[in-house]
């Protein structure tokens, strides 16, 4: 398969995208990490240094992603890390209104979202939860680490208690506050009684993230999957817009390749790819594709 980087200038493609959204019978949004990065949910730099400078100094961790794999010395330290990671990326709203602006564009359309993101920013922006399929899990859920059963558990209340036990404060807007901006007042350990254990077998809980073969696809996951594939079948023909946002090369079989295939099978479909440095399409659908190399938030706003 030969790859094309699309036709037309950036300005022309943004105008064309506006028209395609307006004229589409249905819109399938496929979202990857690039969308949340555009919204300000960065895993390194200033945001990481503000909330994890103690972990960076003690363990040499340089970003939130790699910290998720670090072999911490005990559960109290590990959950201190994860409680910060979870709250920042799941329960605090994104800094920039990228998701909100995207919702404004599609709220009156027949849409569905499939995403590899696990931060639930779509729901925070107002997207209908019954039109969302989070394929790779959810920062807001825990599961048995064994796992002894296929059920997940909401973690917000326990995560908040973990943060309080470290010395953080949460303000009325839900933002995580460092008292007097002094990290020396923050502990890198949680109280032992806050460590989460499976209510069935007693093993320690773990994140509901697709990192290995222990990932739990619970009842909610399967229902969302069913709704997504029903939507795809319903719109196998007609003016369908496959809107791919910030999807990289790590898991192309989940969003990118299926979008290409469905666009090829439907002569009335249009494929859109917006991504920094990775906006391309197969030559077979070049004339029915819009490829925009740039910041997703900027493109959506314009």
Instruction: Read off the pTM.
Output: 0.95
- Any domain includes 202: no
- Any domain includes 226: yes
Counted domains in the chain: 1
- Any domain includes 157: no
Identify the H or E element spanning 154. strand 152-154
The single residue listed with the structure tokens 């993101």 is 117
Over the chain (302 residues), the average pLDDT of each successive run of 10 is 89 97 98 97 96 98 96 98 98 95 98 97 96 97 98 98 98 95 96 98 98 96 98 98 93 95 98 95 97 96 94
- Any domain includes 248: yes
* CATH number of the domain encompassing residue 264: 3.40.50.1220
pLDDT in the model for residue 259: 98
- Any domain includes 17: yes
219 Cβ neighbours under 8 A, 6+ residues apart: 150, 151
Alpha helices in 235-278 (DSSP H): 256-265
Q: Report the relative pairing of strands 152-154 and 169-170 from DSSP bridges.
A: unpaired
Q: Report the relative pairing of strands 205-209 and 137-144 from DSSP bridges.
A: antiparallel
pLDDT in the model for residue 3: 87
- Any domain includes 21: yes
- Any domain includes 103: yes
Identify the H or E element spanning 301. helix 296-301
- Any domain includes 33: yes
Closest CA to 81 of 94, 91, 92, 71: 71
Q: Could you give the CA distance from residue 62 to residue 270 in angstroms, rounded to a whole number?
A: 40
User: What is the side-by-side order of every strand in the sheet holding 240-245?
Assistant: 132-134, 111-115, 26-31, 240-245, 270-275, 289-293
User: Encoding tokens for residue 50?
Assistant: 């503000």
The single residue listed with the structure tokens 């909330």 is 51
pLDDT in the model for residue 74: 98
The single residue listed with the structure tokens 């961790």 is 61
Q: 287 is in which domain, residue-wise? A: 1-41+96-137+218-302
Tell me the three-class secondary structure of 64-121, residue by residue.
HHHHCCCCCCCHHHHHHHHHHHHHHHHHCCCCCCHHHHHHHHHCCCCEEEEECCCCCH
User: How many CB atoms sit inside 10 A of residue 69's CB?
Assistant: 8
């Amino acid at each position: 398969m030969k790859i094309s980087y699309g036709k037309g200038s950036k300005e022309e493609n943004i105008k064309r995208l506006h028209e395609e959204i307006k004229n589409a019978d249905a819109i399938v949004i496929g979202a990857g990490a690039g969308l949340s990065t555009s919204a300000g949910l960065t895993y390194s730099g200033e945001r990481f240094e503000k909330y994890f400078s103690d972990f960076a100094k003690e363990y040499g961790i340089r970003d939130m992603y790699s910290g998720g794999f670090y072999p911490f010395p005990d559960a109290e330290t590990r959950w201190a890390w994860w409680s910060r990671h979870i709250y920042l990326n799941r329960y605090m709203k994104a800094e920039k209104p990228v998701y909100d602006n995207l919702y404004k564009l599609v709220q009156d359309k027949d849409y569905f979202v499939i995403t590899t993101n696990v931060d639930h920013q779509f729901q925070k922006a107002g997207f209908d939860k019954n039109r969302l399929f989070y394929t790779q899990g959810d920062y807001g859920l825990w599961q048995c680490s064994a796992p002894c059963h296929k059920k997940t558990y909401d973690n917000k209340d326990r995560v908040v208690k973990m943060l309080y036990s470290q010395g953080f404060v949460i303000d009325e807007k839900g933002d995580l506050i460092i008292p007097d901006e002094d990290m020396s007042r923050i502990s890198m350990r949680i109280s032992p009684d806050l460590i989460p254990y499976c209510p069935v077998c007693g093993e320690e809980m773990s994140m509901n993230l697709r990192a290995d073969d222990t990932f739990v696809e619970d009842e909610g996951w399967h229902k969302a999957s069913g709704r997504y594939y029903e939507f795809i079948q319903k719109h196998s023909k007609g003016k369908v817009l496959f809107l791919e946002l910030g999807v990289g090369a790590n898991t192309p079989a989940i969003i990118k390749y299926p979008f290409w295939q469905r666009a090829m099978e439907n002569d009335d479909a249009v494929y859109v790819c917006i991504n920094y440095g990775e906006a391309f399409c197969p030559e077979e659908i070049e004339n029915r594709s819009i490829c925009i190399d740039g910041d997703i938030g900027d493109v959506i706003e314009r």
